[in-house]
Amino acid sequence: MDQAQNLRNIIKQINQTEAGQARIITVTSGKGGVGKTSVSINLAIQFRKQGKSVIIFDADFGLANIEVMFGAIPKYNLSDMIYRGKSIKDIIVKGPMDIGFISGGSGINGLGNLGYDQINYLVYKLRELESLTDIIIVDTGAGISDSVLGFVASGSEVLLIATPEPTSITDAYALLKALNAKAGFESDNTIIHVIANRVSSHEEGVNLYNKLNVVVSKFLNIKLNFLGIVPKDDNLGRAVMQQKPVSLIYPNSTASKHFAALASELMNDEAYVEEKKNKGLASAILKMLKNKEKKTDS
């Protein structure tokens, strides 16, 4: 039995099982430096304040932004679980407020080279992860690499971070254009929320969203939802310098209050209905592998 058939069998098996309980939220951006990881971490803190358990899956290969902000260096990563037999609990590092995070390490880029037994093991362990927490935040890399598009296309709930700079808006559109053309992306089953970061006012955030949405509506088969803003706040810069999340060290700051509002909006989001809820991180990664197989076969 070849690798493609093995993968199809695993996908069939996982599709016949119940979804993991964790809600999967994928955070992405068209370019780097727009505050994507800051959004991931601060939303995780706000979810914790609402009583939810959270694990951040750091899918930004090669960078260590989350561990720097958490002040914790992971001893093990996804590769250690796949290749060296570490348990899912071994690779979870605890940050502030008991928020967990997992470093993807080189495991993400090596997913396409996994054997049948390794894929089975990965799926089993990721299913276990989904039973350990309420929310998994997938912090992707920036841009339109295969791994970024794979995670975004496989998720059912996406947060797209953009700033008012023209390059940020242009690159956000480039990401959505590449996503729209990617095999396996189902626009009808994907909620894409736009968060306008580092804006001067709510009006500027709406203006950013409208600029992006007008071209997306015209040229792409994608629907966007404006979730809200994170305003410019000097406390954000101070928090970065201290390598601490602003929601922790400046909880009454303007930025922290907006992160709290965004988290509440997500928790109360009526568009997040059960029929659109994905089957979890394991299914997302399997879809990535399946799409890679299709690409290889074509």
Residue 263: predicted pLDDT: 97
Residue 273: predicted pLDDT: 45
What amino acid is encoded at 139 in this protein?
A: D
| Cα–Cα nearest to 285, from 101, 59, 63, 100 | 59
Q: What kind and span of H or E run contains 197?
A: strand 191-199
Confirm if 195 and 227 have CB atoms less than 8 A apart. Answer: yes
How far apart, in whole angstroms, are the C-alpha atoms of residue 267 and residue 52?
A: 10
DSSP class of residue 192 equals E
Q: Which two tokens mark 216?
A: 């997306």
SS (H, E, C) 41-78: HHHHHHHHHCCCCEEEEEECCCCCHHHHHHCCCCCCCH
CB contact set of 274 (below 8 Å; sequence gap of 6+): none
Tell me the CB-side half-sphere exposure of residue 180, using CA atoms within 13 A: 15
pLDDT tens across the length of the chain (298 residues): 455 555 556 555 555 455 557 888 999 999 988 999 999 999 999 999 999 999 999 887 666 677 777 777 888 888 888 888 889 999 999 989 999 999 877 666 666 666 767 777 777 788 888 889 999 999 988 888 887 888 888 888 999 999 999 999 999 999 999 999 987 788 888 999 999 999 999 999 999 999 999 999 999 999 999 999 999 999 999 998 888 999 999 999 999 999 999 999 999 875 554 545 555 677 667 766 666 555 555 5
Q: Model-level pTM? A: 0.88
